Every structure is written in C-alpha cells, then in structure tokens.
Amino acid sequence: MKVVVYEKNFENFFPLINLYPQFDLRIGMKTIAEHISYHFPDAQIIYMARDLFKIRQIDPKGCTLYLSSQSIITQKIAVPKEEVKLQIDGKVVGFVKHRPPFPKSIKDIDAASRNIRGRKRISGYLLNNLWDLIKYSQKVLTYHYKIRGGRRKKLKGIYIIGNKRNLRVAQGAVIHKYVTMDVSDGPVYIDRNAVIRPFTTIVGPCYIGPGSIIDRAKIAKSSIGPMCRIGGEVESSIFQGYSNKYHEGFIGHSFIGEWVNLGALTTNSDLKNSYGSVRLKIGRKEKDAGMMKLGCFIGDHTKTGIGTLIPTGAVIGSFVNFFGGGMMPRYVPCFKWLTVTKEEDYQLSKAIETAKVVMKRRNIRMLKQYENLIRVNHKWRNLW
C-alpha cells in the first residue's frame, strides 16, 4: 500500500510555511510528516507539495491512501476494500483509492475526492488554521509521549514533581543539578543530546528536541524543536527548530519558526485586556481564532532587537528585522527592516548573506535549492 501525504488549504498557514511544506510543521514531539509515517510503518510514503518545492511527480498504482497534512490522526487506519472519503469531525481529510485514475498532483485531489461516495470516520485533530497548531499542541504532545518508547534514565540531583513515569530522558541528554521537572499535569520528554542547565523548571506536557540547550528557563506545556537555545519564560508555544530565545523575556501561546533570534527581553502578549477572542490577519483577511489566549506567529529568519514588545495576535513574516525596542505592529510582511517609526525593505542579497552566516553557526550549509526558495518568497513578499 502507498500513502500520499498532500498539502491542503496551505494558504491558511502562511507565513509559517514559506520555506518548507505544510507537512513539515511541528506539533507535539514530531512534524506532521513524522506523525503520519509512524501510523503507516509498512507503507511507502509519498509527499505531494506546492510546485516551488520541486518534489518529484508521483505515479501511484493499486491501493493508495491519500491523507491531508491538515490531519493529525490518532489511530492506525484500517483500509477498507471500497473507495471512501476519510473524515475528522465531519470534514474530509483524505480518501482511499483502489482504481484509476489516481491523482498525481494537488490540483487533481479535489476532483478525485468529489467522485467518491463512501465515507469513513477516523479519530484525530483537524488543523484548519495556523492557530490550531497551538490549540492542539498539548494534546498531541501527550499522545506522542504515550506512543513513543524509550528507557527512563536514572537522574540525580533534580527535583521531580509528580509520577516519575511521566519523565523520559533520551540517551546523550544532559540534565544538570538544581533542575525541577513538574510532570504532575503532563509528561516531559528530553530528547537526545539536549542539555538542561541549572535552575531550569520544565512543566509538562513538554518536549525538548535534540541538541537544544535550556538555560535558567521556565518552560511550560511547550514543544521545543531541535537545536534551539532557550532562556527566560516560554508557555504553551512551539519552536519549529534552530531558533534562539536565550535571554529573559516571555513567549506565550505562540509559534516561532526556524532560524529566528529573539533579542533580550523580547516579550509577547497572549491575552487581550478585554479577555475577548483573538483575531489574526492571515493574508489580506482578518479572522477570529475563537481563542482567548493566543500570542504571535513568526516566520523563519526573523529577528527582534532588545526590548521588543509583540502585541496579541501578531503575525510576522519571514526575514523581518525589528530593532530599537518598543511595540511591533500586529502585522508585518516578509523582508522588512523596521522600528516603531520607520520601515524599509530588506535587500534580498543581504538577507541571503545573513541567513548563510546564521545557518553556518549550526554547521548547516545553505543548499542552492533553499536559496532559490528564499528568492521565490522575496518575489511574493507583498502577496500575503
């Protein structure tokens, strides 16, 4: 059997997916692609994305399950012998095909789905918009902890609140003395080669990714991707990976992309003074998220200077540089240099040059394909 994972309604997830496909977004302890692969260990997984990612064309034959990367399934799907649509909460998230024609591109998906009459309900969560990553993050993190194996490493000199079975530490991870792990409200997983330095408190459910360093921080109910540097306070947030928030400051109910650097005392608001529902601007439309607590969404390679304040429901593009301190706008397009009083475009050549330097600091060389993605996004910088 083949499983085709395809992007769906990806326009609702900009600017987070400017430089990688929707199925590479992180939620819980995994990316969406990793999550789906876990549930189909014996299947051939094929990915279908926007043309700019240049993923090779597919030619599925025989029994093929198509699954949207909006779906976070929480069960292994028993594939029926008949062709059916797959639904979560009454919304179509994929389908099963046994007979040709088999969709070979994203544009063929909807037409193929419309021609299928049968329906099959599956359990899971549906990601309609970028804020759903925050809405379901803790539930998915707890689910990942339950399905993920691993031994429990013996630890000395740390204080554990709650059942020790809710704490797992992978081989190669280092946890110093004077660290508090609160697993009374959810599990904590420290992945391989992560380092937790003294006077850190981690409150579950929480995930610390491979190679990340946590230094004198309080991290609660969050997912920290690989190779991050985190200090200060983080609550109910996701760091995609390779990003820095090394100093004091607060990030809450937010999604931080890759290669982001948050300067000292950078702090976001995640609650309106009115305690009302938070609205976000996605593209050219403003939408009500239906959530009282919601912070900011920051695209890749964005940087904030010291003393930056980020308002509730802010959406900040890729390659944004805000400096001089003070309150950022709620909405900032990609490739901008700005302060509270002025704004100018970020030159493409300088953006690429700086990104290469930043990535080299993590021993990663920028590939030509990645550079081309940056150039394409620069052309589209005013379209979302």
pLDDT digits (tens, 9 = 90+) for 12-56: 999 999 999 999 999 999 999 999 999 999 888 999 999 888 887
Phi first, then psi, for residue 73 (nearest 5°) are -75, 150
Beta partners for 282? 285
Q: What local confidence, expressed as pLDDT, does residue 148 receive?
A: 85
Q: In the predicted model, is pLDDT for residue 58 greater than 90?
A: no
Beta bridge partners of 331: 315
When pLDDT is averaged across residues 242-254 and rounded to a whole number, the result is: 97
364 and 358 in contact (C-beta within 8 Å)?
no
User: What domains can be seen in the chain, in order of their start residue?
Assistant: 2-128 (3.90.550.30), 151-346 (2.160.10.10)
Given a cut of 60, whether residue 146 has pLDDT beyond it is yes
Q: Is the pLDDT of residue 168 over 80?
A: yes
Please report which confidence band the pLDDT of residue 112 belongs to, taking 50, 70 and 90 as the band edges: confident
| pLDDT > 70? residue 213 | yes
Geometric angle at alpha carbon 367, from 365 and 373, rounded to 5°: 130
Residue 275 reports pLDDT greater than 70: yes
The pLDDT value recorded for residue 150 is 64
Q: Residue 151's pLDDT is what?
A: 66
| Confidence at residue 384, expressed as pLDDT on a 0 to 100 scale | 57
- Res. 155: pLDDT tops 70: yes
Q: Higher pLDDT residue, 291 or 155?
A: 291
- pLDDT, position 113: 87
What count of residues does the chain have?
A: 384
Residue 250 has pLDDT above 90, yes or no: yes
CA 88/CA 119 separation, integer angstroms: 11
Give the integer Cα–Cα distance in Å for 267 and 300: 18
- pLDDT, tens digit (0-9, with 9 covering 90-100), for 344-358: 999 999 999 999 999
pLDDT tens-place string over residues 194-206: 999 999 999 999 9
Mean of pLDDT values over 88-97: 92
- Residue 86 sits at the vertex; the CA angle it makes with 80 and 88, to the nearest 5 degrees, is 135
User: Where is pLDDT greater, at 267 or 155?
Assistant: 267
Over its C-alpha atoms, the chain yields an Rg (Å, rounded) of: 21
Tokens coding 161: 């609140």
Reply yes or no on whether the pLDDT at 283 is more than 80. Answer: no
> What's the rounded mean pLDDT across residues 109-113?
87
pLDDT confidence band for 1 (50 / 70 / 90): confident
Token readout for 365 is: 């060389």
pLDDT at res. 276: 96
Give the residue carrying structure tokens 């000292």. 264
The pLDDT > 90 percentage for the chain reads 81
Residues 6+ away with beta carbon under 8 Å from 68 = 5, 6, 7, 8, 93, 94
Arithmetic mean of pLDDT, 232-254: 97
- Predicted confidence at residue 383, as pLDDT, reads 61
- HEC per residue, the chain: CEEEEECCCHHHHCCCCCCCCHHHCEECCEEHHHHHHHHCCCCEEEEECCHHHCCCCCCCCCCEEEEECCEEECCCCCCCCCCEEEEECCEEEEEEECCCCCCCCHHHHHHHHHCCCEEEECCEEECCCCCHHHHCHHHHHHHHHHHCCCCCCCCCCCEEECCHHHEEECCCCEECCCCEEECCCCCEEECCCCEECCCCEEECCEEECCCCEEEEEEEECCEECCCCEEEEEEECCEEEECCEECCCCEEECCEEEECCEECCCCEECCECCCCCCCEEEECCEEEECCCCECCEEECCCCEECCCEEECCCEEECCCEEECCCEECCCEECCCEEECCCCEEECCHHHHHHHHHHHHHCCCCCCCHHHHHHHHHHHHCCCCC
Whether the predicted pLDDT of 381 surpasses 80: no
**What is the predicted pLDDT for the residue at 106?**
85
Gap between the Cα atoms of 191 and 210, Å rounded? 5
**46-50, 292-296, 305-309, 349-353, range with the lowest pLDDT:** 46-50
The pLDDT of 158-176, averaged and rounded, is: 94
How high is the mean pLDDT of the chain? Answer: 93
Distance (Å, whole) CA 111 – CA 211: 44
